[in-house]
Chains A and B, each alone.
Chain A
Amino acid sequence: MGFGDLKSAAGLRVLNDFLADRSYIEGYVPSQADIAVFEAIAAPPPAELFHALRWYNHIKSYEKQKASLPGVKKALGKYGPADVEDTTGAATDSKDDDDIDLFGSDDEEESEEAKKLREERLAQYESKKSKKPAVVAKSSILLDVKPWDDETDMAKLEECVRSIQADGLVWGSSKLVPVGYGIKKLQIQCVVEDDKVGTDMLEERITAFEDYVQSMDVAAFNKI
């Protein structure tokens, strides 16, 4: 079981195929299984893996409730298609159904390792926690960027938009939405820190790409 390495393109493809006919990782409601896999993925899956992206955006909408979802988080290797090799390195699991463990000493070694791992993780958690900044006010903004006509290179347009870098600005997923006459607008999500980035600034910088961008609107603005 498992999806392989979820930080690799191959792993994401396995996840994508798995989710083609499923709404959730396990069962028919969102659960800790979904959260476990969601947290293992670095960024939203690319647009062509549309099943994975659909699932990702859906689970993201449960972000505030994630602690209260049912189930218990298991190791990543426990989820996913049965015929994929578990490469997550949770070695203790693979022995389950096989022969009786004849070498009792293995258990001791593993628990030593497990203990060491746990202590390392605790230390990491502590240091991370102490460095955690105070809560910052953020907003999630959905922007509509419109091109001049249907001949505009939307890929280049998206590149230009994403090239806009600023402290407190993080680009999210995007999609192309047809608006008629063959023209598509770019709908792109971003998360901004309210103190640092405002929609005026975004508008200025996006419309600066005059060759590609005709106009920009804020399609949705939500406080996080």
Chain B
Amino acid sequence: GAEELALLEKLLGLPEGNKYGVQGERKVPVLQTNNSPGLTGLMTIAAHLVKQAKKDQLLGSTAEEKAVVQQWLEYRVTRVDGGSSKEDTRIILKELNIHLEDKVYLAGNIFTLADILMYYGLHRVMVDLTVQEKEKYLNVSRWFNHIQHYPGVRQHLSNVIFIKNRLYTNAH
């Protein structure tokens, strides 16, 4: 929510000073601005920050890329934040694993806001995965390990360890 927006600000190199609040029982983040009621919603605020930092390429360059980035941002807010049962998590990891099989980043070949917010959103999940689960969702692990090493992304979040040698047999 609001904490990851602060992380995002730092990653984007924006000066501190934006004020965040939360709204409602679902703790939807709100960005307070001087002359308007304020921007509401994680995706909305994040996209706004990206444009403020003039790093629009993080939202995708082609129309198709932009749509894919939006798709995954929506996924993050509705599926990852919305459902938190063990079963929901399992389904999310399975879907991401399939999607990432032939892609390095969520949007394909470019690093975007989708990767950043999905990383922050999934961090609490990845921290608790067992070694076997990390191997099971091999593509998610590869992607997560890659993103957490991306300069400026991880900041103070804990580094999730992924061991190199496969302990369990490959089940493709």
Contacts and interface: CB of A to CB of B under 8 A. Distances in A.
Interface in A52-80: 53-55, 57-58, 61
A177 to B, nearest CB: 11
A54 B102 contact: yes
Contact of B145 (A21, A54, A55, A58): A21
A155 B34 CA distance: 61
Interface string A28-53: 10000000000000000000001001
A159 B166 CA distance: 36
B162 A21 contact: yes
Contacts of B166: 20
A210 B164 CA distance: 49
B103 A54 contact: yes
Interface string B133-156: 000001001110110011000000
A7 interface: no
Contact of A21 (B101, B102, B141): B141
A61 B141 contact: no
Contacts of B138: 20-21
Contacts of A175: 102
A178 B20 CA distance: 43
A39 B29 CA distance: 48
A133 B164 CA distance: 45
A50 B102 contact: yes
A51 to B, nearest CB: 8
Contacts of A61: 109
A174 interface: no
The 6 A-B residue pairs whose C-beta atoms are closest, nearest first, are A28-B149, A61-B109, A23-B146, A58-B104, A54-B102, A21-B142
7 contacts: A21-B138, A21-B141, A22-B142, A23-B143, A50-B101, A55-B104, A57-B102
